[in-house]
Amino acid sequence: MVNNTRSSQDTSATSQISIVELPIRGMDCADCARHVQEALQSVDGVDDAQVLLSAERAKVTLRNPDLDLSILRHAVSRAGYSSPFLGDGGDAVHGDAATNRSTEAAAHARKLAGTVLTVFGLVFSVVLLVVVAGEWLGVLDEVSRRIPWWAGLTAVLLGGYPVFFNVVRSALRGKIISHTLMSLGVVAAIVVGEWITAAIVVLFMRIGDFAERFTTERSREAVKGLERLAPATAVRVSGEAPGGETQEEVPVEELTAGETVLVRPGERVPVDGTVTTGDASVDQSSITGESVPVDVTAGDSVYAATILTTGSIRLTVEAVGRETTYGKVVRLAEEAEANRGDVQRVADRFSSLYLPIVVAIAAATYLIGRDPLATAAVLVVACSCSFALATPIAMMASIGASARRGLLVKGGAHIEMLPRATVLLIDKTGTVTTGTMHVSTIYPASGWTAREVVHVAAAAERDSQHPIARAITERALTEDVEVPAASEFVSEHGRGVSAVVENRRVSVHKSSNPSGGETQLDVVVDGVSAGTISVADEVRSDVKVALQAVRDMGLTRIEILTGDNDAVARRIAGGLEVDYRADLLPEDKIGIVREYQAAGETVLMVGDGVNDAPALVQADVGIAMGAIGSDIAIEAAHVCLLREDWDLVPELLYTARRTMRVVYTNIGLTAVYNILGLTLAAFGFLPPILAAAAQSIPDVGILANSSRLLRPARRTPARRTPARVE
């Protein structure tokens, strides 16, 4: 199955470049993904390949767009894995047949995961207890005397066949995998006549495989759980039939832009679209993480995977499947794994060098001590997979869990970069401010009241579409002020408007004396001043608290960048107690980012992802605020905040720091554990049986430690502040 194919012209050659996606089955560790990637990259005609362990998918860049995909599948098969076709399990999971099953499935998966983990812990503990007690009490020696060696050898070969098969197959291709060492340990135990030791090693090899597979699958669910929220079917509404409109339930992929879809109460929206008829409340938490429903009516946009809590709507289809906003969220969450940071690359590099190092230690152990059991123990206790898992498991868990809370991070590289940030740059309009003008103050002239000034000004502005006009008419609506009809409306670009209101000529013009960074409007009736109205862009209520939380985390250099004039910028920046630069063009913002980077600073930039998209790309980490429904923002930014909530900014920084603490803990404990195990085994203090039991423990530890990231922190810094700025 090809999930997606696109072509673009290569600037360095006349050949066409194609990107195809293939499902990959059977991967359960970082080594697996690396082997598949190497197999695909060895195919003639493949320019590059990225294998996503969490998504069980490979993105392959082809120099030859006509390359037979069966060749790629054959390469995957040679590596020991499979790439199924459509219909035999290769489909990416995009939803349940019944939309209301997704929550039940997720709850069932969590319950099952907890049960399996508990059972595994109990079984592991019992087996370990039996093995240790048997070793100390001599029970295992008695068992080995009573059972013929050939029966024990048969049990070893049958129990370890899947592992041995992969080791031999990899060896024939010149590759050493993590199980190679333990398999050598099994061979060493058999050679010295310790078949029961070999059997115990095989037992723990299989237990370790289960632990690793479970660890990977648990973190994989953090991303795959997103896919299950999108419904698989939709109710398509066709044109008028003799008995009325026709309603038909169809697979979502059969829908096309322009068609009409019916969504009823309690159902998930199957596509991105615009409401044509009906009113409803929509729970958008699957995308934005915000639990408060949003009211929609005709003309409003709705998004796939959101839920109608009340009401029923018909909507016009605009995007389907992976082209929807939710589809892009899922795709970017999947692909985030490929964007590895420095820590993960170092860990991967170390994993590839670790196996030869262990072989060298084992050889030295045998040459110095002539103890084959100690040599076998060295080979058995080494656990290279734990190094490979230490970073990606934590990153997968963090990225998947963050996406569910409305924080879309495009890879581990950005999670690594966030804690290093030294400068925070912020775009003003649409980010610090709402982008909506409001009336801040009314100054009536002598003989006039504030309501009378609004009465005539709103009437004069009634036919204008300017944001200032909307602010004045909104003020009239809020205060229940009557807005009469006007005639002879005239709009003067850059100046204001005039109209005849109740037989009087009313003009509303910008004042030549702006005050406090606000726009001053003179209201004149029949040539006499009626008063002045001050209009300003509204600062978001949650910005000041969020910025203080950011400062509390040590990021104190904060600056607002805006294209507005100095007076406006000074007013807003002063209220937030930050620096500012005004009268900027988009290219000026890029220059400021580069200026800081040239000085050695690590720059975060928060914007709305529209006119500041180039600066977001240039920043070390660009953060798009309220990116839902914005293709530009989603593609340009490194992090997308899917709802307009400034609390997400300190939460993002806190989550990144928390994730990196987990990663460093995983790596540190794994390193200490392996060094200790290798030392004890090399000096003969750790027999092969206990070495086999010990080697599977790091995987369980990594799972337990990384699983903490699947749950949000109890309180993020911004939410600890008791007071909010209103």
What are the tens digits of pLDDT across the range 214-252?
Answer: 656 665 565 566 666 778 889 999 866 545 678 888 988
* Distance separating the N- and C-terminal Cα atoms of the chain: 53
How confident is the model at residue 214, as a pLDDT? 66
pLDDT, tens digit (0-9, with 9 covering 90-100), for 375-412: 888 887 876 667 777 888 788 888 878 877 888 888 88
- pLDDT (average), residues 445-451: 93
pLDDT, tens digit (0-9, with 9 covering 90-100), for 135-155: 555 556 666 667 777 777 887
pLDDT, tens digit (0-9, with 9 covering 90-100), for 53-90: 766 788 888 887 788 888 898 888 888 788 886 443 33
State how far the Cα of 394 lies from the Cα of 666, in Å rounded to an integer: 9
How confident is the model at residue 17, as a pLDDT? 64
Q: Phi first, then psi: give them for residue 529, nearest 5 degrees.
A: -65, 130
pLDDT, tens digit (0-9, with 9 covering 90-100), for 415-439: 999 999 999 999 887 788 876 788 9
- What percent of the chain clears pLDDT 70, i.e. is strictly above it? 75
How confident is the model at residue 562, as a pLDDT? 83
Which is it for the CA torsion 407, 413, 418, 423, positive or negative?
Answer: negative
| pLDDT at 7 exceeding the cut of 60 | no
State how far the Cα of 37 lies from the Cα of 76, in Å rounded to an integer: 9
How confident is the model at residue 16, as a pLDDT? 57
CA distances from 671 to 7, 151, 354, 668 (A): 44, 38, 11, 5
pLDDT, tens digit (0-9, with 9 covering 90-100), for 508-556: 998 866 576 677 899 999 999 999 998 887 788 889 999 999 999 999 8
pLDDT, tens digit (0-9, with 9 covering 90-100), for 36-59: 888 898 898 888 888 877 667 888
Residue 11 gets which letter from DSSP?
T
Q: Is 255 buried (19+), middle (13-18) or exposed (0-12) by CB count in 10 A?
A: buried
Both tokens of 174, joined, read 């010149």
| pLDDT at 163 exceeding the cut of 70 | yes
Residues 283, 427, 522, 564: which is the catalytic one?
427
| pLDDT at 343 exceeding the cut of 70 | yes
| pLDDT at 347 exceeding the cut of 50 | yes
348 counts as catalytic: no
How confident is the model at residue 511, as a pLDDT? 80
| pLDDT at 571 exceeding the cut of 70 | yes
- What percent of the chain clears pLDDT 90, i.e. is strictly above it? 24
pLDDT band at 344 (very low <50, low <70, confident <90, very high): low
How confident is the model at residue 142, as a pLDDT? 63
How confident is the model at residue 106, as a pLDDT? 42
| pLDDT at 98 exceeding the cut of 60 | no
| pLDDT at 30 exceeding the cut of 60 | yes
pLDDT, tens digit (0-9, with 9 covering 90-100), for 609-624: 666 778 888 899 999 8
Instruction: Please give the mean pLDDT across all residues of the chain.
Output: 78
Interior/surface letters 665-674, b for 16+ CB within 10 angstroms, e for the rest: bbbebbeebb
| pLDDT at 133 exceeding the cut of 70 | no
How confident is the model at residue 632, as a pLDDT? 64
Find the angle CA(56)-CA(657)-CA(388) to the nearest 5 degrees.
40
How confident is the model at residue 725, as a pLDDT? 31
pLDDT band at 11 (very low <50, low <70, confident <90, very high): very low
pLDDT, tens digit (0-9, with 9 covering 90-100), for 696-725: 678 778 878 888 887 766 555 555 543 333
What's 548-593 look like in SS3? HHHHHCCCCEEEEECCCCHHHHHHHHHHHCCEEECCCCHHHHHHHH
CA distances from 245 to 238, 261, 267, 282 (A): 6, 12, 20, 25
How confident is the model at residue 503, as a pLDDT? 93
Question: Contact, 192 vs 373, CB < 8 A?
Answer: yes
- Residues near 492 by Cβ (< 8 Å), separated by ≥ 6? 498, 509
pLDDT, tens digit (0-9, with 9 covering 90-100), for 655-681: 999 999 999 999 898 889 889 999 999
Q: Greater confidence, 24 or 203? A: 24
pLDDT band at 261 (very low <50, low <70, confident <90, very high): very high
**What distance separates the 2 farthest-apart alpha carbons in the chain?**
115
